[in-house]
Structure 1
Amino acid sequence: MTNIIAWLVATIVTLPLLGWYVIYITTVKMTKNKRMSIRFASDWSTILFMAAVYFIIFELWGWSFHWIILAVFFLIALLFTLMHWRVSGDIHIRKLFKGIWRFNFILFLVTYLILSSYGLVTRIMG
């Protein structure tokens, strides 16, 4: 049983699109609300994409870039906070956090797709 759970967790971390899809399908079946399910799946799979980017970088180049991933996350948070403060004059924590988290989802999704493509090409060619 523990082998099955370990296999499932490893698969979802290495294939975060599958994790996103599983979360999405589960939420749609429970709520019947597709728009909310997309947001929910995106919010919960952000950490999967961050982990996948880390492991892909480590596998491709053999370096640990967890500090760069954290630095990018906090730099985005800082920039979003400054922009939010300049635009609205006040900081709404919940709205700010959602914006930061969803932007990081998009950033790490794109990074995951680019790194996966790059990894496939380099492994096929070399």
Structure 2
Amino acid sequence: MSEALAWLVATFVTLPIFTFYIIYIITVKTTKNKKKSLKLAVDVSACFFIIAVYFIAYEIWSKSLLWVIIIFILIVAMIFTIIHWKVSDDIQFGKLLKGIWRFNFLLFVIFYLVLSAYGLFISIYLVT
């Protein structure tokens, strides 16, 4: 049982797009609400994209860049907080956190795709 769980977690971390798709399909089938399902899939799979970016960067450069990822997320949070404060004059904490988390999802999907392509390109041209 523990091997199956380890395999499942490893698959979700290695292929976060698969995680996103599975969560979306399961929630669409259960709730029949595509918008709510998409938001839930984004919220859950964002964590897997962040972890995947960390491991891809570690494989490419053989250095832990966790501190860079954390600082990046904090900078995004600060920028979002300032913009939210300027626009609405009052900070709605729940709305702010959702915005930060979903924006980080978009950024880390882009990072995941770029780092995957870069890692593939480097591995092909370094081997040959």
TM-score range for the pair, normalised by the shorter chain length: over 0.9
The answer for unaligned runs of 5 or more in structure 1 is none
**Equivalent AA in structure 2 for residue 56 of structure 1:** I
TM-aligned CA deviation for residue 36 of structure 1: 1.1
1:45-64 maps to which residues of 2 (within 5 A)? 45-64=45-64
What is the match of residue 81 of structure 2?
81
> Identity of paired residues, percent?
52
Query: How does the TM-score come out when normalised to structure 1?
Result: 0.97
Inter-partner Cα distance in structure 1 for 2:51 and 2:113:
13
Inter-partner Cα distance in structure 2 for 1:5 and 1:43:
21
What is the match of residue 41 of structure 2?
41
SS in 2 for 1:63: coil
TM-aligned CA deviation for residue 17 of structure 1: 0.3
SS in 1 for 2:63: coil
TM-aligned CA deviation for residue 59 of structure 1: 0.4
TM-aligned CA deviation for residue 124 of structure 1: 1.4
Structure 1 residue ranges, 4+ long, deviating more than 4 angstroms after superposition: none
- Alpha-carbon RMSD: 0.7
**Equivalent AA in structure 2 for residue 46 of structure 1:** A
Query: How does the TM-score come out when normalised to structure 2?
Result: 0.96
Inter-partner Cα distance in structure 2 for 1:110 and 1:54:
13
1:43-84 Cα shifts (integer Å, max 9, x gaps): 111100000000000000000010110101111111100110
